[in-house]
Chains A and B, each alone.
Chain A
Amino acid sequence: MDEVLFPYSPTTLVLSFIGLLASILYPFMLGQKIKIKQLPKPLKYFVWIMISWNGFAVIGTLFFSEPIYSVPRQIIFGLQALSWIQIGYIISRINEINLKTRRHRFATLYNFLGICAVIATTLVFCITPEKITSISILDSDVFNDHAVFITHSILFFVFVFPYFLTTIYALFRNCMQTSDKDLIQIGLYMLAIFIFFVVLSTFFDFILPFTAYFNPKVSNFQFLQWFQYSCVFVAILSGQYFTSISFKNKNSFWFLNTLIDHIGDCVLYFEKKGNIISANAATHLLFQMNEEEIRSLKIQDFLPGINFSEEGHFNNLKIKIKDELHTFNVSIFHIRQTMTAYLNALVLSDQTHSLFFQQRVKAMNKQIAGYKQEFLRYQNRLNISEKKIKETENVNATLINALPFQFWSKNENGVYLTQNQKDIAIRGNLSKNTDDPKTISEYETNAREDGNGNTHISYENSNHESITEDQANLDIKNGKQVFIYQNHFIPIISAIPPYKIIGLKIDITEERRLERERNLLREQKSIHSRLEELGTICGTFAHDYNNILGSQIGFCELASEILNKLNNETDLQKIQNFSAKASSFVIEATKAAKRGKESLNTLLDTVRGTAAKKMESISFAPYLVIEDVIKKLVLTLPSNIQISSEHMDKSVRINAQVHSLDRIISNLASNAIYSMKETGGTLTFKIEKETLLQQIVSPYAPPIPPDTYVKISIADTGTGMDSGTLERIFSPFFTTKSPGEGLGLGLSSALRLLKEGNAYFTVQTTVGSGTIFNLYWKLYKEKNDQSEEA
Chain B
Amino acid sequence: MSTILIIDDDPQFNLVLKSAMEMDGHEVETASNGREAKALYQNKKYDVIITDIIMPDIDGFEVILDLRRMGMSDRTIAVSGGGRTSANDYLDAAQHFDVAATYHKPVDLQALRATVEEIINKNK
Contacts and interface: CB of A to CB of B under 8 A. Distances in A.
23 contacts: A539-B83, A539-B84, A543-B54, A543-B81, A543-B83, A546-B87, A546-B106, A547-B13, A547-B105, A549-B106, A550-B13, A550-B81, A550-B107, A553-B109, A557-B20, A557-B109, A558-B23, A558-B109, A585-B19, A588-B12, A591-B12, A739-B32, A739-B56
B83 to A, nearest CB: 4
Nearest to B52: A547
A738 interface: yes
Using C-beta atoms within 8 Å of the partner chain, give the interface range for chain B: 20 to 34
Contacts, number: 85
A588 B16 contact: yes
B16 A737 contact: no
A551 interface: yes
A431 interface: no
A588 B14 CA distance: 12
Contacts of B109: 553-554, 557-558
Majority-rule SS of A interface residues: helix
Interface of B: 8-10, 12-13, 15-17, 19-20, 23, 32-33, 54, 56-57, 81-85, 87, 104-107, 109-110
Given A546-B105, A550-B105, A550-B106, A535 B12 contact: no
Nearest to A738: B56
B83 A554 contact: no
A543 B82 contact: yes
B13 A554 contact: yes
A558 B22 CA distance: 11
B81 A551 contact: no
Contacts of B82: 539, 542-543, 546
Interface in A549-591: 549-555, 557-558, 561-562, 581, 585, 588, 591
B92 to A, nearest CB: 16
Using C-beta atoms within 8 Å of the partner chain, give the interface range for chain A: 20 to 34
A646 B70 CA distance: 56
Contacts of B8: 547
A171 interface: no
B48 to A, nearest CB: 17
Contacts of A547: 8, 10, 12-13, 81, 105
A473 interface: no
Highest count of chain A CB atoms <10 Å: which of B104, B106, B107: B106
Interface string A527-552: 00000000110011011011111111
B12 A737 contact: no
A557 B33 CA distance: 25
B56 A737 contact: yes
Contacts of A90: none
B56 A551 contact: no
Interface in A737-774: 737-739
B106 A553 contact: yes
Given A554-B19, A554-B20, 6 more contacts: A539-B82, A542-B83, A546-B105, A738-B57, A739-B32, A739-B56
A575 to B, nearest CB: 16
